Amino acid sequence: MAIVLYGVSTYNCQRVTSALLEFGIEDFELIKVDLKEREHFSPEYLAMQPFHQVPVFESGDYRLYESRAIVRYFAEKYKDAGPSILGSTLEEKALVNQWVDTEAHQFNDFAFAPWSMEYLMSWRLKRPLDEALVAPLYEKLGYFLDVAEKQLSKTKYLAGNFFSLADLNIAPSLLRVSVLQPELINDRKNVRAWFESITSRPAFKKMLEADKGWRFPYGPFTNEEAQKLRTS
Amino acid sequence: MGIVVLGSYLSPYSLRVLIELEELVVDYELKPVNIKQGEHRTPEFLKMQPFGQVPVLQDDDLTLFESRAITRYLAEKFDGQGTPLLGKSMKEKALVNQWVEVESQNYDRPLIAIVEQVVWKPSWGKTTNEEIVAAEMAKLEKVLDVYEAQLTKHKYLAGDFFSLADLGHLPGTHLLVNIGKKGAVFADRPHLNAWWEDISSRPSFKKTMAKTP
């Protein structure tokens, strides 16, 4: 059954694309949903994803949304393609899930998502950054990365000495952190090494290539600088 | 040693785990963490849970945090006893996971924002911000419309079987509807309302809530 992924360029879409590529699946169609044109509010799209969000996974009649549910499905379905990114024992799986949820809540919901959204809005609307909004979120990001720094002094990856769903899920977001405020990553030795490792994986690089329309839209980057990011 | 849950009856995230343990027919010990006195911010607690939150699960050598990671672990560990919660086929399991994510990303956020205003703030002697309540209710109602459409097609969220996805909604919705008195938005949506009546009449839920002060 042909695989179709709806949604490109956002960090949660990139999460799904990189997951598919991790499992050696290269034969899929990547379809842009034009968020600026509010394509995600069209009746056709809402029939697929009633919360008007990207991404959506489709294979024949079967559709799935919520990027973290989609990547989990891939990890189960393609379990035999390589070492399990879900973890092998019950305890390993539990720790993977703990870090997947920590990324979702402590990193993404409480810090990264609103923080990066403010950068996007200030660039798009050509207005200054709301410092009062950004400053406490920056602190929360720092706190999360301090916790990660400590964990990564004990294990090579977040949930253990194996690359897992937790590392996969955070990688596209961390790329944006590294461009917006690189010191958040560079000032933390273990975080920096881990970041280099997870963003230099072949699947991650292939994902950036596959997402051909992707450029870093948060400015003030010239297209040249963004291009460098895409091909480095 | 057995299952130990460090948590609080005041926390919907702790309650989620306790309700599940009842569904799975698993004995547990609850070690209360005194949120009001800041016990979740002490150095000892932060060593276990660096973000200072409840619940935390202890199962022999394993210490685990994040309520949905805990509930997933317990459902996998005790698969085969009590209520099956994860779905059977890979596709069913994925749909359960999808609706767990929907609860986490779309439902819980406006719900907790409303509960904070109409339940928790008054309990701390603070005033409800009605503007926030109105704004968040508007967001929640849009989500409830999607739920109503889904529950018109199926008895439960991920299909015609009760799952972890439905269970996760119990404690928060109880706070919103029963304590916060915001049940009208459920009553207005017949399938959503029927689903709520159904899941909140489950013995696991009643038994757990009977223990809360």
> A44-73: per-residue pLDDT in tens?
999 999 999 999 999 999 999 999 999 999
**Residue of B76, B98, B104, B146 to mutate for A, most A C-beta atoms under 10 A:** B98
**Contact call for B66 and A98, based on CB within 8 A:** yes
Task: Yes or no: say if B157 and B101 are a contact pair by the CB < 8 Å rule.
Answer: no
**B196 Cβ contact partners less than 8 Å away, ≥ 6 residues apart:** B173, B177, B186
For residue A100, the chain B residues in CB contact (below 8 A) are 69
Residue B62 β-bridge partners: B59
Distance, in Å, from the CA atom of B179 to the CA atom of B176, rounded to the nearest integer, reads: 6
pLDDT of residue B75: 98
Residue A59 β-bridge partners: A3, A62
**Residue of B54, B64, B78, B105 to mutate for A, most A C-beta atoms under 10 A:** B105
Tell me what the mean pLDDT of segment A25-33 comes to: 93
Residue B26, Ramachandran bin (φ over 0: left; ψ between -120 and 50: alpha; else beta): beta
Contact map slice: A 125-144 vs B, CB within 8 A: none
What value does the mean pLDDT of chain A take? 90
Q: Which chain B residue is nearest to residue A53, measuring alpha carbons?
A: B106
Which of B62, B95, B102 is the closest to A94 by Cβ?
A: B62
pLDDT class for B121, splitting at 50, 70, 90?
very high
Distance, in Å, from the CA atom of A36 to the CA atom of A42, rounded to the nearest integer, reads: 12
pLDDT class for A215, splitting at 50, 70, 90?
low
| Between B141 and A208, the higher pLDDT residue | B141
Distance, in Å, from the CA atom of A73 to the CA atom of B158, rounded to the nearest integer, reads: 14
E strand map for chain A: 3-6, 28-31, 56-59, 62-65
What value does the mean pLDDT of chain B take? 96
User: What ipTM goes with this model?
Assistant: 0.94
**A128 Cβ contact partners less than 8 Å away, ≥ 6 residues apart:** A122
Nearest to B13 by CA among B87, B84, B115, B97: B115
Nearest to B79 by CA among B69, B66, B88, B92: B88
Q: Cis peptide before A114, with omega less than 30 degrees from 0?
A: no
**Confidence check: pLDDT of A229 > 50:** no
**Contact call for A147 and B77, based on CB within 8 A:** no
| Rounded percentage of chain A residues whose pLDDT exceeds 90 | 78
**Confidence check: pLDDT of A195 > 70:** yes
Q: Cis peptide before B203, with omega less than 30 degrees from 0?
A: no
Question: Within an 8 Å CB–CB cutoff, is residue A46 touching chain B?
Answer: no
Contact map slice: A 52-111 vs B, CB within 8 A: 62, 64-66, 68-70, 72-73, 76-77, 90-91, 93-95, 97-98, 100-102, 104-106, 109
**Confidence check: pLDDT of B52 > 90:** yes
Task: Yes or no: say if A15 and A169 are a contact pair by the CB < 8 Å rule.
Answer: yes
pLDDT of residue B77: 97
B199 CA to chain A: closest CA distance, Å?
Answer: 23
Which of B73, B100, B149 is the closest to A94 by Cβ?
A: B73
pLDDT class for B173, splitting at 50, 70, 90?
very high
Q: Which of A37-51, A215-229, B55-69 has the lowest mean pLDDT?
A: A215-229
Which of B66, B77, B93 is the closest to A101 by Cβ?
A: B66
Distance, in Å, from the CA atom of A73 to the CA atom of B157, rounded to the nearest integer, reads: 18
Tell me the per-residue pLDDT of A133-154, one tens digit each, with 9 for 90 and over.
Answer: 999 999 999 999 999 999 999 9
**Confidence check: pLDDT of A15 > 60:** yes
Chain A / chain B CB contacts < 8 angstroms: 74
Q: Which chain B residue is nearest to residue A46, measuring alpha carbons?
A: B146
pLDDT of residue B198: 98
pLDDT of residue A208: 87
- Distances in Å between the alpha carbon of A163 and those of A12, A20, A26, B50, B72? 18, 15, 20, 22, 20
Tell me what the mean pLDDT of segment B6-19 comes to: 95
pLDDT class for A224, splitting at 50, 70, 90?
low
* Phi and psi at residue A31, to the nearest 5°: -115, 130
**Contact call for A66 and B97, based on CB within 8 A:** yes
For residue A97, the chain B residues in CB contact (below 8 A) are 66, 68-69, 72-73
For residue B66, the chain A residues in CB contact (below 8 A) are 97-98, 101-102, 105
Place of tokens 């948060």: A218
**Contact call for A101 and B91, based on CB within 8 A:** no
**Confidence check: pLDDT of A223 > 70:** no
**Confidence check: pLDDT of A130 > 90:** yes
A196: exposed, middle or buried (Cβ count in 10 Å: 0-12, 13-18, 19+): exposed
pTM of the predicted protein model? 0.94
Q: Which chain A residue is nearest to residue B62, measuring alpha carbons?
A: A91
**Confidence check: pLDDT of B132 > 80:** yes
Task: Yes or no: say if B70 and B55 are a contact pair by the CB < 8 Å rule.
Answer: yes
pLDDT of residue B205: 97
**Contact call for A66 and B101, based on CB within 8 A:** yes
Tell me the per-residue pLDDT of B61-96, one tens digit each, with 9 for 90 and over.
Answer: 999 999 999 999 999 999 999 999 999 999 999 999
pLDDT class for B42, splitting at 50, 70, 90?
very high
Question: Within an 8 Å CB–CB cutoff, is residue A15 touching chain B?
Answer: no
A56 CA to chain B: closest CA distance, Å?
Answer: 11
pLDDT of residue A220: 43
pLDDT of residue A123: 80
